[in-house]
Amino acid sequence: MRKQFNSKCLIYVLTSVLACSCASLTKSQLKEIQIFGQLTQNFSAYPGYVVSSYNTVHQQQQLFFANGLPTPAEHYTMIAEASDFKIKSDLITPQIDLSLKIVDRYAQALILLTADRHSKALDTASKGLGLNLEKLIGSYNTVSRSAPLPTGIGGAIGQLISSGGSLYIRKKQAEEVKKIIPLADTIIAQMTNNILVLLNGQIGAGQTNLPQLIALEKDNIARSYKRFLGLNREQISIRKGKDTTGYRGTIVSERFAGLEDDRECLRLLENLNYTEQLRLQCIAATQNLRKAHKKLLESVQQKKDLKEIVAEVQYYGENQRKMHQIIKAINRQP
């Protein structure tokens, strides 16, 4: 009877110790971290969409420009340039591309590491994601001129092992999250700074940046559409009897736009405006991503008021909702 009592006491003591260790991160804190991860996964879609939306508007503007050119050769050259434009557009540099991918993979890791239920499949996914993230960070460090990003976060992500019961897993979960978020905060700071350079432009960079390109495009649309509406000159040759020299001249035919042409020009101007709105909203979202992660860091390191964390994540979530609405407006059917 005494042995049975001692065993029960031992189990109770061990359970209490584990529970106290796990209490370093509350269920609410883990939930907020998970929500942050869910909001941030595929974040690259938003800055990427700003660029692709601008590219689409510019490409269509080039088609109007092509249709105002006087010769077939010039017309075709402009069509070919419009075809190649998206491929050759260098706004998304390797450093920016890697920055966006790193943010996405890190967010996916947070979702896995704060999952309510654990399984071997989750652990396998965590290990694969950790290796992928570590590889991306290594690639970033080879192309970046700034201070190298800290390594080791990928290995930490793959450490959660589903064994020892749910209480052990919660303890392990809290330990790994507390380890990863401080490491990742330096990375998030640099990644969000890179994204803001893309969205805001860089002073003294010596090349036209995204906000300048968007501002210039409205003038480009006006110039190209007016040219499209301009005069087309068709060459004619007039001969008199057997005279082989003939008389050369032109027939001037004025082109009037159809309603569909005007609708397309209107769509271009509207979508350019939406693109600028999306850029500004994306800047706010990137800034709030940084603020929200900083609050998560403070939360896991100190006993912060949970309301502060919730508020920052909510602001970040509202940015996401607004960006989604703008993208829906751009994608609307004519």
15 assigned to some structural domain: no
Strand partners, 248: 237
105 assigned to some structural domain: yes
- Which band of pLDDT confidence, cut at 50, 70 and 90, is reported for residue 285? very high
pLDDT of residue 8: 42
- Which band of pLDDT confidence, cut at 50, 70 and 90, is reported for residue 207? low
The Cα 56–Cα 112 span in angstroms is 36
* Mean pLDDT of the 286-291 span: 94
2 assigned to some structural domain: no
Stated pTM of the model: 0.79
258 assigned to some structural domain: yes
- Which band of pLDDT confidence, cut at 50, 70 and 90, is reported for residue 166? low
The mean-pLDDT minimum among 32-46, 117-131, 162-176 falls in 162-176
12 assigned to some structural domain: no
Q: In this predicted model, what pLDDT tens digit does every residue of 248-282 receive, in sequence order?
A: 666 656 566 678 888 999 999 999 999 999 999 99
* Mean pLDDT of the 180-202 span: 91
* Mean pLDDT of the 171-189 span: 84
- Which band of pLDDT confidence, cut at 50, 70 and 90, is reported for residue 18? very low
17 assigned to some structural domain: no
**Which tokens sit at 132?**
């992928």
13 assigned to some structural domain: no
Average pLDDT across the chain, whole number: 80
Residues of the chain above pLDDT 90, percent: 36
Range of the domain at 211: 25-236+246-330
**Which tokens sit at 331?**
């994608």
Q: Are 68 and 223 in contact (CB under 8 A)?
A: no
Q: What are phi and psi of 250, to 5 degrees?
A: -135, 150
Max Cα-Cα span within the chain? 131
The Cα 223–Cα 218 span in angstroms is 9
- Which band of pLDDT confidence, cut at 50, 70 and 90, is reported for residue 42? confident
Instruction: Give 133-153 as a DSSP string.
Output: HHHHHHHHHHH-SSPPPPP-H
20 assigned to some structural domain: no
Q: How many domains does the chain have?
A: 1
Cα distances (angstroms) measured from residue 326 to each of 47, 50, 319 = 13, 10, 11
